[in-house]
Amino acid sequence: MIRLQATPTSPVPAEHGEGPVFDAAAQELLWVDITAGLVRRGTIAGDDVVPVASHRGGDTVGFVAPAAAGGWLLGAGAGITRLTAEGDAQVLIELTGEGGSESAGGTRMNDGACDRAGRFFAGTMAFDERPGAGSLYRLDLDGTVSTVLDGLTISNGLGWSPDDRTVYLSDSGAKTVWAFEYDLDSGAFGERRVLLDFSDDPAGVADGLTVDDEGCLWTALWGGAQVRRWSPEGELLAVVEVAAQNTTSCAFAGDLLVISTSVHGMDDAARAAQPDAGRLFTVRPGVSGPPANPYRGPLGALRQR
């Protein structure tokens, strides 16, 4: 097994950094600060990330994906928002049954991604992380939104195998990464199996994930201060050590693995002990990954089935 060490980058720390994605068309790295409601942008310079801009996307922003028509789509608040290149945010759809305040036991958008066809998948969770309150939604290329999965707890990292026949989904609340059969023609999830079970793992639980060009999974471990690489059969291949306890997600910008981290929920002593927590970290693990797939459907007149 290979062990690597990630290094922190230049952007100032986020409160709840999440969801790095590489936008190949814009040649920019995007990531979010969930609780601050921000989308942040940067460029890659060697092993560093150089800040470009940040934009307000909503009260909370769970993840960002590029849009083929320009700008970005966000899983924000209780639905889907468009963010223009000028930084203007417009709510496109609020999902039935989602939303509400934290104090009232509401839900918010969490993680998501687009498949190779350009469909937009968005997961949710309850603010209080109660079991079964999360769902996974699909925004199709005709602008309709439908429920793919319900009964989740913390719908989290999402990624596809290079042949598009398998989709991986992390549910951090269930401490599980599932592998589903996938039909790229329809966007349908098929039979599922447990790929990774973190129920008895003292290092933490799987958070965000990505898939490299060799078909291996990289999972960030919330509470584990590391990112792990797994074979498609679930064999542990590599561990990347990160100087931040709460690693939240990861993505490739070419052969550079970018890792997001968070200080959310940490007390003052824990924050002081981890001065780089909340930053992006990078490492070159010797493999590459694809850039983020853009959403290829309409950016208006969305409707929920």
Which position among 111, 140, 171, 207 bears the catalytic label?
A: 207
Cα 12 from chain centroid (whole Å): 19
Residues with Cβ within 8 Å of residue 222, at least 6 apart in sequence: 172, 204, 205, 206, 207, 246, 247, 248, 262
Q: Which of 278, 249, 214 is nearest to 112 (CA)?
A: 249
Backbone angles phi, psi at 108, to 5 degrees: -145, 165
Query: For residue 135, what are the CA distances in angstroms to 93, 108, 111, 153?
Result: 16, 10, 11, 8
Residues with Cβ within 8 Å of residue 270, at least 6 apart in sequence: 245, 263, 277
Helices (H), the chain: 268-273
Q: Which tokens go with 101?
A: 């305040």
Active site residue 255: no
CB atoms within 10 A of CB 292: 25
Catalytic positions: 207
